[in-house]
Amino acid sequence: MASRWHRSPDADVTMMGVLNCTPDSFSDGTQYLDSTAALRHGLAMQQAGASIIDVGGESTRPGATPVAEQHELERVIPVVKALSQAGCIVSLDTMKAEVISQGIAAGASMINDVSALCFDPDSLSIVAGAQVELCLMHMQGAPDTMQANPHYHNVIDEVCSFFQQRLDICMQAGIPEASIILDPGIGFGKRLQDNLTLIRNIDQFKQRFGMPILLGVSRKSFLGLLTAAPVEDRELETAVAGAMATAYGVDILRVHDVTMQKRATTVASAINNAKALTTTPQR
């Protein structure tokens, strides 16, 4: 059974809207700490075209301070419950097993774990038992130290090797292959060139694993390194990166501004899917 998130050749990219219920996220910290504001924004992103709302209660930006489990639960569970009851497909961005368990009970149908279920040993069995969808992300190091001195000999091979190890473990635990999505982890223990190489080679991940690929480039620091734009003014850079990723075969884009990025990928998809014109040589 194929994943429902595989993009057909003539389809647009799936939008995952970012909903950070945190005080310290790099782009929109403090904006959606209040559950009512978070619900309103989540529904607005769905209306704008987001098929998935990704709710997080702990920032994973470089240098982020870990959040106590109870604080994370208080931030995300009411929002997950309200959004799922409103008919949204809710993804829960967390590394903690108890948050995963309570989030699934509240209505989350996807777990987006930046540690690929490595952080908490109990997460694997909880996800396997619940039969929810799962996004496995690659990260070198941990959020508080990952950008200190990342290094790779071959970033594509090393990320693929990590994915294969985690896929073997997940499927042995009973997590169906069709429920898994892969995320190469742009900005998570990566240098500028590593990020660019990963985006350019999305097709390699699809060819090697045959699974949907999720990409999170929205407003990230590597874009600022290229153009010197501040974090609050990187939607143009995000749109270009997302459009290029669309041409390379990405299935899901995790974005902050759903309206802007959906416009960009709609154009990118239309161009990418246009058939080449053929002409009869003149004699």
Q: Which residues are catalytic?
A: 220, 254
Rounded to whole angstroms, the Cα distance separating 273 from 70 reads 47
Q: Tell me, what DSSP letter sits at residue 253?
A: E
> Using CA atoms, how far apart are residues 68 and 58, in angstroms rounded to an integer?
9
Query: CB-based contacts of 56: which residues, under 8 Å, 6+ apart?
Result: 18, 19, 20, 21, 22, 25, 76, 92, 93, 94, 112
Which element (helix H / strand E) includes 92? Answer: strand 90-93
The residue count for the chain = 283
Structure letter (DSSP) for residue 111: E
Half-sphere exposure for 167 (CA within 13 Å, toward CB): 17
- CB neighbours (10 Å) of residue 56? 25
Residue 41, amino acid: H
